[in-house]
Amino acid sequence: MISMTLLCVLNMGSGCFQGKSDGPDLFMVTGTVTVDNEPLPLAVITFDPEDGIAGSYGGEIRNGTYSFRSAAGPKKVTIMASRPSNNLGPDGLPGMEQYLSERYNMKTELTANVVAGEKNAISFQLQTAQ
């Protein structure tokens, strides 16, 4: 649920400037994401500005690949992937758990630089072991 909610928010945020002449120029960003050398099946990736001022951009990772438009500049990258947990949620249904290390999301160590006018192919190789 968390990843789908984030995806909806990201889609709204990334679309805010599309078609507006006063917004930032957006550039295509593509890449792959693996965990222990295997494609990450389903997740959400977000590029947040390092300065914390401009908007965030992102999209969905499917079968280890992603593609979206982002403003140029240095970014902090978060990757969120959830799966059903063994614990029941308040509604009695299985809850969801974030299964990637927090160093890829809540305390991210991932960065990227989106360069205007260039092919921005940015891949991430994640590990489950610390």
Q: Tell me how far apart the alpha carbons of residues 81 and 38 are, in angstroms, rounded to a whole number.
A: 14
| Structural contact between residues 116 and 72, judged by C-beta atoms closer than 8 angstroms | yes
Q: Tell me the mean pLDDT in the region 87-101.
A: 86
Q: Which residue has the higher pLDDT, 97 or 76?
A: 76
Predicted pLDDT at 128? 87
Predicted pLDDT at 53? 84
Residue 35 structural domain: 2-126
Q: What is the pLDDT of the chain when averaged over all its residues?
A: 85
Q: Which residue has the higher pLDDT, 86 or 22?
A: 86
95-116, pLDDT tens digit by residue? Answer: 888 999 999 999 999 999 999 9
Structure token digits, residue 92: 């009695």
CATH number at residue 28: 2.60.40.1120
Q: Tell me how far apart the alpha carbons of residues 67 and 122 are, in angstroms, rounded to a whole number.
A: 10
In the predicted structure, residue 2 carries a pLDDT above the cut 70: no
7-18, pLDDT tens digit by residue? Answer: 444 444 444 434
Per-residue pLDDT band for 61 (boundaries 50, 70, 90) equals: very high
H or E segment to which residue 78 belongs: strand 73-80
Count up the domains in the chain and report the number: 1
